[in-house]
Structure 1
Amino acid sequence: MQQVEADPGHSAWYVERFRALAAAGEDVVGEARLVEALVPPGSRILDAGCGPGRLGGHLHRRGHDVVGVDVDPALIAAAQEDHPGPHWLVGDLAELDLPARGHPEPFDAIVCAGNVMAFLAPSTRTEVLRRLRGHLAAGGRAAVGFGAGRGYPFPEFLADAEHAGLVPDLLLSTWDLRPFRPDSDFLVAVLRADR
């Protein structure tokens, strides 16, 4: 929410940006396709930091049971308007407790796209990862993606994930399955609970 406080028009700009891209026929759901490849049909999926709902909306239309959470009420309102069907909730990922909010079942997959991890306060990063891990079903996986140069070095993220009980199954440099290399400027980490 610091981004919104610094730029009160940011949320509206973000919503309109993805509406315009979708209207122009651009691919705005590539992250969702990767997540869908991780799970069987009809899976429970958490869209963590869902923004205006582009990924969760797509996954819902594909037959999955989706819950989307974002801290920004304006983005949740846009998700509800543009993508009816999923359960859209305003919430802070650092305080994520979906069983207390009426969603007791764990998730088969979690998607955390859109540089969400880089927007988190550094003091909350490990807690967010711990809470995501706590919402995964046995055998479930989380796909987390963000760019380099955003104040969260990839090795630090991977160490935080391990500390939270998540270990990498697969590291990619794009959502369309290009291999991760040490000089990659983007990371997509497919993580599983270390049980």
Structure 2
Amino acid sequence: MTGQRDRWAELTGGEAGEEYARRFARLVESGHDVHGEAAFCAALLKPAARVLDAGCGTGRIAIRLAELGHHCTGVDVDPSMLAVARREAPTQEWVLGDLARLDALDLKPCFDLVLAAGNVIPLLAPGTEPDVVRQLAAALCPGGLLVTGMGLDAAHLPLAEPPLTITEFDRWCTEAGLTLRQRCSTWSGDPYEEGCGYAVSVHSRPTT
């Protein structure tokens, strides 16, 4: 652990929940489909699967997956984001916690799918990224999937420059015992090519 604040907290001060929720409400009002991540994950899941939304924010994805019949737990380090999630879906499980210390949280093992969308990985505290990947991998059932979405350049990140490369991320996943199963450039499933500014990755944990 580095003891540093995560990049998200540095950007927002940990008080972005309401504004984040309003931004997506405006997108819905203007006719945008805001459920691309949920649809992508749902296509990978069997009915009534257990899902961990790691860095769940205001709960948008976990709430949608629950509507589709899955059992979802959301974890986030930002209380302002979780306050919105708890208001929108009070019966769902929302946990305040650091992803680098996921094993210290009172979560029921194990999950069929762990999701880290919305630039969760690039916005972690510097130096904690490999630890978080190991924690997310350890939360998976045998055969479970880690699904991530992240910007790889400044145009797809709220940062001046990307803090990691896709090669580094794949290495952390390999070290955590995961295998790359699929990679796209969008949540709609568009093909990924070298140099793409965004990557949606599906890594799997071995079945044994």
TM-score using structure 1 length: 0.92
Aligned identity (percent) is: 37
Alignment partner of 2:136 out of 132, 139, 150: 132
C-alpha distance in structure 2 between counterparts of 1:4 and 1:126, whole Å: 19
Question: What is the CA deviation profile of residues 92-139 of structure 1, one whole-angstrom value per residue up to 9, with x for unaligned ones?
Answer: 1000027x51x3231111111000000012311111111111110111
Q: CA deviation at 1:44?
A: 0.4
Q: Indicate if the aligned counterparts of 1:106 and 1:137 stay in contact, CA closer than 8 A.
A: yes
Q: CA deviation at 1:24?
A: 3.2
Superposition CA RMSD, Å: 1.7
Number of positions where the alignment pairs a residue of Structure 1 with one of Structure 2 = 193
TM-score using structure 2 length: 0.86
Q: CA deviation at 1:16?
A: 1.7
Which residue is 2:194 aligned to?
182
C-alpha distance in structure 1 between counterparts of 2:114 and 2:10, whole Å: 28
Which of the two has greater helix per residue? 1
Listed as ranges, the matches of 1:14-25 within 5 Å are: 14-25=20-31
SS state of the match for residue 194, structure 2? Answer: coil
Which residue is 1:33 aligned to?
39
Gapped regions of structure 2 (runs ≥ 5)? 1-5, 154-161
Which residue is 2:9 aligned to?
4
- Are positions 1:119 and 2:123 aligned together? yes
Gapped regions of structure 1 (runs ≥ 5)? none
C-alpha distance in structure 2 between counterparts of 1:2 and 1:97, whole Å: 21
Q: Indicate if the aligned counterparts of 1:57 and 1:83 stay in contact, CA closer than 8 A.
A: yes
C-alpha distance in structure 1 between counterparts of 2:49 and 2:16, whole Å: 32
Q: Indicate if the aligned counterparts of 2:48 and 2:70 stay in contact, CA closer than 8 A.
A: yes
Q: Indicate if the aligned counterparts of 1:54 and 1:83 stay in contact, CA closer than 8 A.
A: no
